Amino acid sequence: MKVIFAKHIGFCSGVKRAITIAEKSLEEDPKPIQFLGPLVHNEKIIEKLKKQGGKFISNLKEISSGTLILRAHGEILDSTKIGKKVLIRDTTCPLVERVQRTANFLFKQGYRVIIIGDKNHPETKGIKECVKNRAIIIENGFQAKNLPKLKKIGVVSQTTQNLNKVNQILTILKNKVKEFKWVNTICPEVIFRQKELSEILKKADGTLVIGSHSSANTRRLVEIAKKSKKPAWWINSLEELKKINFKGISSLGVISGTSMPDREIQKIRKYLKKVKRNSSSSSPSLP
């Protein structure tokens, strides 16, 4: 079985930055080290941070001292609810901060802000809070078609959206208003991976997508892979991979979401290379 690994795989720069800040804080900052929600969307990273002494909380009332780490998705924090003795470390991805600033700028310019994104995702919620919760969140073309008439809209996107889907929604929105402004805020790394996956799908019989089921950008990759009508598997560990039989697959494309640890990908890469060596060309399957 031929294995085609994507060039863009493993952590993105935003995730690397968040983890670097968190691990340094765990070593140097006042204890306890508390995370307001999952730092990034990957269970293995969360498990590691817990082993290093990190405490994950969901309510600011739980904090009275130590250090508070804000997650990479762009938490909007009311500092008045935090005690002066608490040190705050913000790991918000710079690209997410850009979306927040852009949305706020459009809002101040008199545009009704439209966010193309998942309404329950923390990043989308944070963007909406930047415009006093007056933005409209659109998740699909149906909602775009049913958008009430507005004179002036400014559109941004959650950084991990599917580019093709966003373009389809934009086409609908353009025809509904007189004044329309779109600022492309999709993460370039996310776009690279989506485009690279499209190229891999032309060569591969099936696709292996690596990443957490809680990861939005990984979910987009899975959606693209499944749309091709070719077999697609979604895993988050080597243990899950070992349960899959790739019988009948002569070439397998492999790609990951942006919050998948590099060490886990290396385990998977090593295992697949071993399978490639041991499998015969006539019956390429996992043991």
278 pLDDT exceeds 70?
no
What are φ and ψ of residue 203, in 5° steps?
-105, -30
pTM for this prediction: 0.90
Cis peptide leading into residue 261 (ω within 30°): no
The strand order across the sheet containing 55-57 reads 55-57, 33-36, 67-70, 87-90
Torsion angle of the four alpha carbons 122, 127, 130, 132, in this order, in degrees rounded to the nearest 10: -80
Distance CA(21)–CA(68), nearest Å, equals 12
Residue that has been written with the tokens 């989506």 in this structure: 194
Neighbours of 242 (CB within 10 A): 13
Per-residue model confidence (pLDDT) at position 277: 66
pLDDT tens string 245-272:
988 899 999 999 999 999 999 999 999 9
Contact 98, 185 (CB under 8 A): yes
pLDDT tens string 198-244:
999 999 999 999 999 999 999 999 999 999 999 999 999 999 999 99
Per-residue model confidence (pLDDT) at position 281: 44
Domains annotated on the chain, with CATH: 1-93+187-287 (3.40.1010.20), 95-186 (3.40.1010.20)
Q: What confidence tier does 274 reach under pLDDT thresholds 50, 70, 90?
A: confident
Range with lowest mean pLDDT among 71-80, 103-112, 127-136, 250-259: 71-80
Neighbours of 214 (CB within 10 A): 16
Q: What amino acid occupies position 178? A: K
Range with lowest mean pLDDT among 12-16, 19-23, 73-77, 150-154: 73-77
Residues 6+ apart with CB under 8 A from 18: 39, 40, 71, 72, 91, 93
98 pLDDT exceeds 70?
yes
Average pLDDT over residues 19-44: 96
78 pLDDT exceeds 80?
no
Average pLDDT over residues 59-80: 88
Residues designated as active site: 123
pLDDT tens string 32-62:
999 999 999 999 999 999 999 999 998 888 8
pLDDT tens string 145-201:
999 989 999 999 999 999 999 999 999 999 989 899 999 999 999 999 999 999 999
